[in-house]
Structure 1
Amino acid sequence: MLLLVALTLYKGSVLYRAQSYERNLRFLLVVLGNEARFWAYLCLLAALSLLTSNVVLGLALRLALALPLLLALLDIGIFLNFSQRLTLADLYTFSFKLNLGYTYAVLKTLVRQLGIWSYCYLMLVLGFVVLLVWLLLYPVVANYALAAWLCGAALLLGVVSASIAARTSVTAATASVAPATTPPPVAYTHSAAINVIDLLRSGLSKNRPYSHAFAQALLARYSEPPAICVQGLGVNPPPNLILIILESFSMCHSKHLSGIFNFTPNLDMLMRENVVFTNFYANGGTSTDALVALLGGTVPLPSPRYAREPTLDIFDHFDETLPRLMGRHGYQTLFMTAADVAAFGVGAWASTIGFASVQARADLQHDQSRAQGFSTATDETLYQNAILHLQRLQPPYLMVLETGSSHEPFIDPDSMRASEGLCMRYADRKIYEFIRYLEATNFFANGMVMIVSDHRRRGAVLPEEYARYGAAAPFQIPLIIIDGKKHPRTVTAPYQQTDLLPSWRYMLETSPINLSPLQGILLPEPIHSANAILSRNVFDIYDSVNVVQHGMVQRVRLAGDATRFEDPRVALPGVIDMINYQRLRYLR
């Protein structure tokens, strides 16, 4: 019961910040109703454990009761820190695919610097330990009266859940097709926060395999849509590029872009002085998704073989990558990340896709005492080390910097307080200091800096965001291009992370370049937008892909052979074939 109350209260605080007070009261009821199914299941398990005097069977049923409670406890910790829910695939990733040191760093982050919620969470952990000891040591004795009472409680919870959840499922809570001006539905804030059961159930269809017959038929008949051919510019001398992937940088953080928060005054100043894209999209919702899109030029569609994919080991056989392209044109290529090199295999993956040098947290010269959550170095440390490398690099060069200080749970490196505003202002201040250093050293005489977010912040979409960006709000992000020309411009045409690779091909190569319908060119001038933009959904329904086309956001449900648009009125079979083909390409 303590777990239920704590989870509900915290969700209420999140929803209160995201919606009006009246809606918040309704959401509290919705949350209680949806998760009552979970507690009904636990009541039934407890009742079963009271129907036997057999020690082995009784202990087995008690352990079966303790395991869901443990998962609920982990779910609360993840939601407290990262505004997302626990999935079984996350358990697999952090328990088996990553090294133990990195997993420990993540777990340590879960209860750090969160004020009263840290203490509440630690009390819940202690309560679970006490309960587990009691379940293991208390004599196994049948108690039919208590079992009957628990069955009645389960029935009551089931009735309450059915009456509420039937009207507030994840599918009903989110608009499947909406123009950019559509306000948020009353039932929508962050569907994963409302209903984790439907969320997990929906994730199963994403992992549904394609049948052999379907895959063979599609691969036999499918042909790439007609390409658009453009003549490469062959820019000479080739410009140096510093690509800064700024963790969780969102439209709502910028007063200049959204008018919501004023967390990034220095970046706002850079936007006013340079080129800013106000209709730019992330192709996924994680940092690894961003690496696949930005450096591999590929939409990180979920693999049908594993529920939490794509991880970087799936996307390591690209036709072309940004470092390979630039390496062929004489560039030195360097990838620097504030994270542990073992995190999701980033270090090995960066080398595989063509980076000549890879630097991670262990390679950086920094104060170990200021390492942050997820065992990342601070942005200040990353930029200081970047400056050391810039003093040695010979042009032309590509330097990719992946920051980490502004990752949720937003621990400000200076004060070590959990504050999104303080954390983003820190990231804003340090990146501005780095840009001013580049200006002072004449980098922009033949150099360019591209500042792009990896993905939007994980928190609930704000009403002000929906009013401005519509259904695209969860995956719309900023892009700033600084080339030293001081010709300020705002680009409103739609572009995406995967457009960086074809744009640099257009810049560097002299031969004709064929663009697919999913590719655009934004350098040196925005000349062509993709016909359709795809973004993997990780916010509400894991088995879906958002499609931006003609100013509309449409949702495709991934279900193997039955992959389809969520709204049956949408008739774009070419898009479905394209998504199925792209997913099948990465099956091994």
Structure 2
Amino acid sequence: MIKFILLLVAPLVLKGLYVDDFIYHYTTTRLLGFCQVLANDAILYSGLALLLYLSFLPQVNRLCTALLRVLAVILFAVYIIDYLIIVNFNTHLAVGDAIKYADYSYKYIQQIYGINNIGFLFIIAVIVIPLILFSFSKRKITSRRYRKIPLFIIAALPLISGFSDNQKYAHSWIYKNVIDYNLTILSESSAYSDKFLKAFNFNEQSYCSVETGKQTELSSLPDQTLLMPSGYKNIIILMVESLSTYQSQYFSGINNWTPNIDLIAGQNQAFKNFYANGFITEDGEIALLTGLQPIYPPSSYSDDGGTSFHSFFSIPNSLPNILKKYGYKTEFLTTADLEFGNTGNWARSIGFNYIEGHDQPEYDKWERFHFQAAPDEALYVRALDRVKQNNGKKFFIFIKTVSSHHPYINPENKDKSESEAIRYTDKQIGRFYQQLQAERFFDNGLLVIVGDHHSMTPLKKAEVDNYGQFKAAAKVPLIIADGVNAGVENNQYQQIDIFNSLQGMVSGRQCYTDWNGILLGEHKTPPKYIAHRRGDNRDIVSIFTENEDFLVKLDGDSTRLSGNEPAEPSIRQMLIDKVNALRIARVSG
């Protein structure tokens, strides 16, 4: 009995300890996180205890006993999975994610732990067989004295939940039990009514300028290729997995894991107040390659709402499609499995001429890691080869790295830590940059180095102190290297501004709005507002201005501001309308 109880409470204790350490990063207060986990999970454990208690009563027949125990096992398994996801990905188990990544989960687990099919089946058998035996066991509680103790515990647990306080801290999402969390974020899927959609109207003013000495016109050629403005550049976007501001001494002063990146930043254009528009790689790809904020439409899980890149397929004005009109060859390179998140199909749908992933023959000689990916070194070897093959042509290459993805491991020495993985990533970026210099790429080329999202790790206290609790979760470095311009930019910018600026660079016509800036050329203009899709509270979109942060609660027709509000009523409504406009556009997109 004691072993059984210890097994039941072990995940609760482990989660409490982890969350306590997580909260300590923000508050430097111990036991707060642990106590809040106990308070929030008490109701869930009360339900688990009740199911088990009823199953052990002698009056309950065998079929009901088995059903009660199966339900208890499922609830316990969900709790454990939620804990593992919190530890590994800094978010809760969400129903949408479970649907979205279910088909790749088996592959991912195999890759992370090096388990083959037989080993996986053995582990499943070791776990499942005892659970089946337990579920259909005839064991019951026969002593009346022992029946009273569980009843007391079951009755007391809900009282403990009264001590929960989920409003005190911005990151109290981590306190919540998995059921409460999913009920909270359920408003994200609330649909807009037909009446609301018919009445809704949102107009955004756009301002455009023509770059000095540049103009565009349609060619008379049959393919309607656009003539390039003078001084065009080949373009490489290097999207670095989980590259975050706090990892860099140059960008944050917090850690010193990226000396090569810091050196490159000091020699080129460095953006120290730059933000990712989302919290996962998919969001970064959407922002950088389509120029659209990765704010998804309300969706049920039966209308593709649980699929990757939902509503962002086949974007006509994607960066690859735009650049192809100007004669560019467009390429998408990664060492990751293109099946993950349907990335390959999405990249094709937005117009890339050439796409390759983990199954490229050149990677066969390399060791594989998560997502079946060869290390970043192999990716840069391959990318440099593509640069050489495109010599003399106009080209755009999008490079998506993998080695700095969680779980962190340095492919060279196999050390497992975030700092080791980032140091390896930094080393390979430094080497790639030097190789581009040797190939004289910068004579007519532009390299963009940018993080896809903040790492999926707890925010450091120094981050929160420096940037605030909401902005810290979106801070990533941006470097633009063109061999000519250098300097530090401290105005705020975001990932979609890269798309907007590159589009303007090749066309010679730069446009901006309050929500979309220009970070290149003579008309540099920061956006007034930046939208960030959050990974902790999926029902909340953060809005950043230079001096304030605002939160918009997603809830269909009832979408609203939460917490701090702008002083002017017109701006309050504009923030809500903008978020609604983004989501409604994807409904019809």
TM range (shorter): 0.7 to 0.9
Q: 1:425 aligns with which of 416, 423, 426?
A: 423
More deviation in 192-201 or 48-57?
192-201
How do residues 239-254 of structure 1 correspond to structure 2 at under 5 angstroms?
Answer: 239-254=233-248
Q: What is the match of residue 335 of structure 2?
A: 338
Deviations 1:480-532 (A, max 9, x none): 111112x431101111001122212221114x555333211111356111221
Counterpart Cα distance in 2 of 1:484 and 1:137: 71
> Are residue 210 (structure 1) and residue 208 (structure 2) matched?
no
Q: What is the match of residue 474 of structure 1?
A: 473
Q: 2:557 aligns with which of 545, 558, 561?
A: 561
Counterpart Cα distance in 1 of 2:133 and 2:465: 51
Q: What is the match of residue 64 of structure 1?
A: 71
- TM-score (normalised: structure 1): 0.87
Deviations 1:306-339 (A, max 9, x none): 4775721420143511111111001010001221
Q: What is the match of residue 154 of structure 2?
A: 154
- Say if 1:4 and 1:209 are closer, same or farther in 2 by CA, change over 3 A: farther
Counterpart Cα distance in 1 of 2:28 and 2:243: 30
Q: 3-state DSSP class of the match of 2:250?
A: coil
Q: Say whether the 8 Å CA contact 2:101–2:341 is kept in structure 1.
A: no
How much has 1:78 moved relative to structure 2?
2.5
Counterpart Cα distance in 2 of 1:419 and 1:304: 37
Q: 3-state DSSP class of the match of 2:477?
A: strand
Q: How many residues align?
A: 551
Matched letter for residue 343 of structure 2: V
More deviation in 476-485 or 424-433?
476-485
Q: What is the match of residue 387 of structure 1?
A: 384
Deviations 1:352-381 (A, max 9, x none): 111000111112512466211232221111
Q: What is the match of residue 104 of structure 1?
A: 106
- Say if 1:561 and 1:298 are closer, same or farther in 2 by CA, change over 3 A: same
- Say if 1:7 and 1:333 are closer, same or farther in 2 by CA, change over 3 A: farther
How do residues 387-536 of structure 1 correspond to structure 2 at under 5 angstroms?
Answer: 387-393=384-390, 394-471=392-469, 472-485=471-484, 487-510=485-508, 512=509, 514-524=511-521, 527-536=524-533
How do residues 183-222 of structure 1 correspond to structure 2 at under 5 angstroms?
Answer: 188=171, 191-192=173-174, 195-218=177-200, 222=201
How do residues 105-144 of structure 1 correspond to structure 2 at under 5 angstroms?
Answer: 105-109=107-111, 111=113, 129=128, 131-139=130-138, 141=140
> Are residue 542 (structure 1) and residue 538 (structure 2) matched?
yes
Counterpart Cα distance in 2 of 1:110 and 1:192: 24
How much has 1:17 moved relative to structure 2?
6.5
Counterpart Cα distance in 2 of 1:546 and 1:529: 17
- Say if 1:198 and 1:110 are closer, same or farther in 2 by CA, change over 3 A: farther
How do residues 159-178 of structure 1 correspond to structure 2 at under 5 angstroms?
Answer: 159-163=159-163, 165=164, 167=165, 169=166, 171-174=167-170
Q: Say whether the 8 Å CA contact 1:287–1:455 is kept in structure 2.
A: yes
Q: Say whether the 8 Å CA contact 1:316–1:353 is kept in structure 2.
A: yes
How do residues 348-367 of structure 1 correspond to structure 2 at under 5 angstroms?
Answer: 348-363=345-360, 365-367=362-364
Q: 2:96 aligns with which of 89, 102, 111?
A: 89
Q: Say whether the 8 Å CA contact 2:331–2:352 is kept in structure 1.
A: yes
Counterpart Cα distance in 2 of 1:18 and 1:376: 33
How much has 1:418 moved relative to structure 2?
1.8
Q: What is the match of residue 39 of structure 1?
A: 45
Counterpart Cα distance in 1 of 2:549 and 2:143: 54
Deviations 1:281-325 (A, max 9, x none): 111000000011000100011321047757214201435111111
Counterpart Cα distance in 1 of 2:127 and 2:158: 24
Q: 3-state DSSP class of the match of 2:298?
A: coil
Q: Say whether the 8 Å CA contact 2:238–2:448 is kept in structure 1.
A: yes
More deviation in 368-377 or 140-149?
140-149
Q: Say whether the 8 Å CA contact 2:541–2:554 is kept in structure 1.
A: yes
Matched letter for residue 425 of structure 1: R
**CA RMSD between the two structures:** 2.7
Counterpart Cα distance in 2 of 1:452 and 1:237: 23
Percent identity between matched residues is 28
Q: 3-state DSSP class of the match of 1:370?
A: coil
More deviation in 359-368 or 375-384?
359-368
Counterpart Cα distance in 1 of 2:381 and 2:20: 39
Matched letter for residue 132 of structure 1: L
How much has 1:457 moved relative to structure 2?
0.8
- Say if 1:306 and 1:262 are closer, same or farther in 2 by CA, change over 3 A: farther
Q: Say whether the 8 Å CA contact 1:410–1:418 is kept in structure 2.
A: yes
Q: 1:302 aligns with which of 296, 304, 312?
A: 296
Counterpart Cα distance in 1 of 2:522 and 2:478: 14
Q: 3-state DSSP class of the match of 1:248?
A: coil
Q: What 5-or-longer segments of structure 1 have no aligned partner?
A: 114-123, 175-187
More deviation in 225-234 or 577-586?
225-234
Q: 3-state DSSP class of the match of 2:389?
A: coil
Counterpart Cα distance in 1 of 2:399 and 2:231: 23
Deviations 1:139-170 (A, max 9, x none): 1657584555333212211111222x1x2x1x
- Say if 1:328 and 1:66 are closer, same or farther in 2 by CA, change over 3 A: same
Q: 3-state DSSP class of the match of 1:448?
A: strand
Deviations 1:115-137 (A, max 9, x none): xxxxxxxxx98985465133233
- Say if 1:414 and 1:249 are closer, same or farther in 2 by CA, change over 3 A: same
Deviations 1:518-564 (A, max 9, x none): 211111356111221101111x2110100012421111110111110
Counterpart Cα distance in 2 of 1:66 and 1:10: 18
How much has 1:85 moved relative to structure 2?
2.3
How much has 1:7 moved relative to structure 2?
5.0
How much has 1:201 moved relative to structure 2?
2.0
Q: Say whether the 8 Å CA contact 1:77–1:111 is kept in structure 2.
A: no
Q: Say whether the 8 Å CA contact 1:58–1:140 is kept in structure 2.
A: no
How much has 1:48 moved relative to structure 2?
2.8
